[in-house]
């Protein structure tokens, strides 16, 4: 049951003048572990204010501290890549760093396209910090899962807060941001994301349906299975969402197609870096 609510996520303490990107020399790198933690420490919000549902609904007062999380263990050291691949990725990141100038990178794409995994790798390669916009909203809602936010307060409430998150992040630097699948539907979100570099992760619908069906759809509020085959239901719903969003994805700065590279992680990431480099040099 959807309640009509007003936007109430306040993130006023996220932005700090300390987040300005300093001039870099060959002997100094901003992306140290300490600096990553410092950037994440800036991601703090006051509270998710009292939600005022429509008449007839129980009033819900949700308050939560939105604090930073520790940086994940090194993915590059986990054996995902060979030593040679690791060196190639780091070399390419060095080449594009002067062109990036600390601008944020926004990953957009359909649900299940791998934005979070790709974002974590890119952030480590580029010495950026990584955040997931959906997770920030969940934390501000007292660790309430996205699916429950949709159920309790409706999609409009979630989208309003998603827009607020992107607004605040647009003033920051050196973040790789994994966005929700529906973040592309609002033009205002593109206004904020265009302050950085946006990458559309393009994955075939059949591959998405297989992946999502395998892990389950409970956390996907826009996937509602009826009776029948789970894969068929998922593919049908994804196809409808694609029709609604495909034109919006053309706004992205860069498109990375995973049709042929889906099982080759190194090629995915080096291709992403090359695409970013080509865009920045245009």
**Domain at 9-281, CATH from 3.40.50.720, 2.120.10.80, 3.90.640.10, 3.40.50.300:** 3.40.50.300
pLDDT of residue 222: 53
Q: Are 237 and 144 in contact (CB under 8 A)?
A: no
Q: How confident is the model at residue 211 (pLDDT cuts 50, 70, 90)?
A: confident
Largest CA distance in the chain: 62
* Spatial CA neighbour of 244 closest among 185, 195, 186, 203: 185
pLDDT tens profile 70-92: 344 455 555 578 889 999 999 99
Per-residue pLDDT for 14 more than 70? no
Position 214 pLDDT exceeds 90 = no
* Strands lying side by side in the sheet with 105-108: 129-132, 175-178, 105-108, 197-202, 254-257
pLDDT at residue 98 greater than cutoff 50: yes
Among 1-5, 98-102, 144-148, 241-245, which stretch is predicted with the lowest mean pLDDT? 1-5
Counting residues of the chain whose pLDDT is more than 90, the rounded percentage is 48
Q: Residue 249 is inside which H or E element, if any?
A: helix 230-249
**Encoded tokens for 279:** 């865009």
264: confidence class by pLDDT, cuts 50, 70, 90: low
Mean per-residue pLDDT for 93-115? Answer: 94
Confidence check: pLDDT of 244 > 60: yes
What span, in angstroms and rounded, lies between the C-alpha atoms of 218 and 229?
Answer: 16
Under the banding of pLDDT at 50, 70 and 90, the label for residue 65 is: very low
**Residue extents of the structural domains in the chain:** 9-281
Neighbours of 174 (CB within 10 A): 22
pLDDT digits (tens, 9 = 90+) for 122-178: 999 999 999 999 999 999 888 999 889 988 999 999 999 999 999 999 999 999 999
């Amino acid at each position: 049951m959807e309640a009509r609510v007003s936007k109430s996520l306040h993130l006023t303490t996220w932005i700090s003048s300390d987040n300005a990107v300093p001039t870099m020399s060959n002997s100094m790198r901003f992306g140290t572990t300490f600096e990553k933690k410092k950037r994440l420490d800036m991601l703090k919000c006051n509270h998710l204010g009292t939600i005022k549902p429509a008449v007839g609904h129980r009033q819900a007062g949700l308050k939560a501290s939105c604090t930073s999380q520790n940086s994940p263990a090194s993915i590059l050291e986990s054996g995902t890549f060979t030593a040679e691949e690791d060196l190639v990725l780091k070399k390419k990141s060095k080449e594009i760093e002067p062109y990036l100038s600390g601008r944020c990178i926004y990953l957009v794409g359909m649900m299940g396209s791998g934005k979070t995994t790709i974002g974590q790798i890119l952030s480590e390669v580029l010495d950026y910090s990584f955040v997931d916009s959906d997770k920030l909203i969940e934390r501000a809602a007292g660790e309430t899962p996205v699916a429950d936010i949709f159920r309790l307060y409706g999609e409009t409430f979630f989208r309003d807060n998603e827009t607020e998150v992107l607004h605040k992040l647009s003033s920051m630097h050196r973040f790789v941001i994994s966005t929700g699948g529906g973040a592309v539907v609002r033009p205002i979100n593109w206004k904020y994301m265009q302050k950085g570099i946006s990458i559309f992760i393009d994955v075939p619908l059949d591959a998405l349906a297989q992946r999502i069906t395998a892990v389950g759809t409970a956390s996907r509020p826009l996937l509602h299975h009826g009776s029948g085959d789970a894969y068929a239901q998922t593919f049908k719903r994804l196809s409808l969402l694609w029709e609604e969003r495909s034109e919006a994805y053309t706004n992205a700065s860069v498109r990375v197609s995973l049709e042929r590279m889906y099982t080759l992680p190194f090629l995915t990431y080096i291709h992403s870096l090359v695409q970013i480099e080509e865009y920045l040099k245009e």
